[in-house]
């Protein structure tokens, strides 16, 4: 009899980030201090970038989905205050940056 796959109790483990290495390659040679992620989702790309760029001071993660934000908040807890979570649409990037008093962003992820 085939074994059943064990269900994950952590929602972030259910989500697999697509093109993660390609995403990381885009910023491989960049000095990233402030990053704006307009589609944070479960936080997989955020986690990868934060792991590979310890110089990040502020990672702004936006999503309209409250459940996705909760998952990302749990997943990205190790990064503490570096990560700012915003319930917002990426089309509101100007408003979000103004609210956070951020004038310069080193990288964007909008999918």
pLDDT digits (tens, 9 = 90+) for 58-75: 999 999 999 999 999 999
Q: What is the pLDDT of residue 83?
A: 98
Angle at which helix 66-75 crosses helix 44-52, to 10 degrees, equals 30
Query: Domains in the chain, start-ordered, CATH in brackets?
Result: 31-109 (3.40.50.150)
pTM, full prediction: 0.83
Q: What is the pLDDT of residue 36?
A: 97
Residue bearing tokens 């992820």: 109
Tokens of 111: 């999918």
Angle at 46 between CA 40 and CA 52, to 5 degrees: 165
Q: 83 pairs with which residues across the strands? A: 59
Q: What is the pLDDT of residue 20?
A: 85
Above pLDDT 70, what percent of the chain?
86
For 85, phi then psi, to 5°, come to -100, 130
Q: What is the pLDDT of residue 15?
A: 56
Above pLDDT 90, what percent of the chain?
77
pLDDT above 90 (res 13): no
For 31-53, the pLDDT digits (tens) are 999 999 999 999 999 999 999 99
pLDDT above 60 (res 5): no
């Amino acid at each position: 009899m085939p074994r059943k796959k064990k269900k994950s109790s952590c929602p972030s483990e259910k989500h697999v980030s697509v093109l993660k290495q390609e995403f990381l390659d885009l910023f491989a040679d960049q000095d990233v201090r402030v990053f704006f992620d307009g589609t944070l989702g479960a936080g997989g790309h955020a986690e990868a970038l934060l792991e590979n760029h310890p110089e990040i001071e502020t990672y702004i993660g936006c999503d309209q989905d409250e459940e996705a934000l909760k998952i990302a908040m749990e997943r990205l807890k190790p990064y503490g205050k570096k990560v700012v979570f915003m319930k917002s649409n990426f089309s509101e990037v100007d408003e979000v940056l103004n609210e956070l008093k951020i004038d310069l962003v080193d990288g964007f992820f909008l999918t």
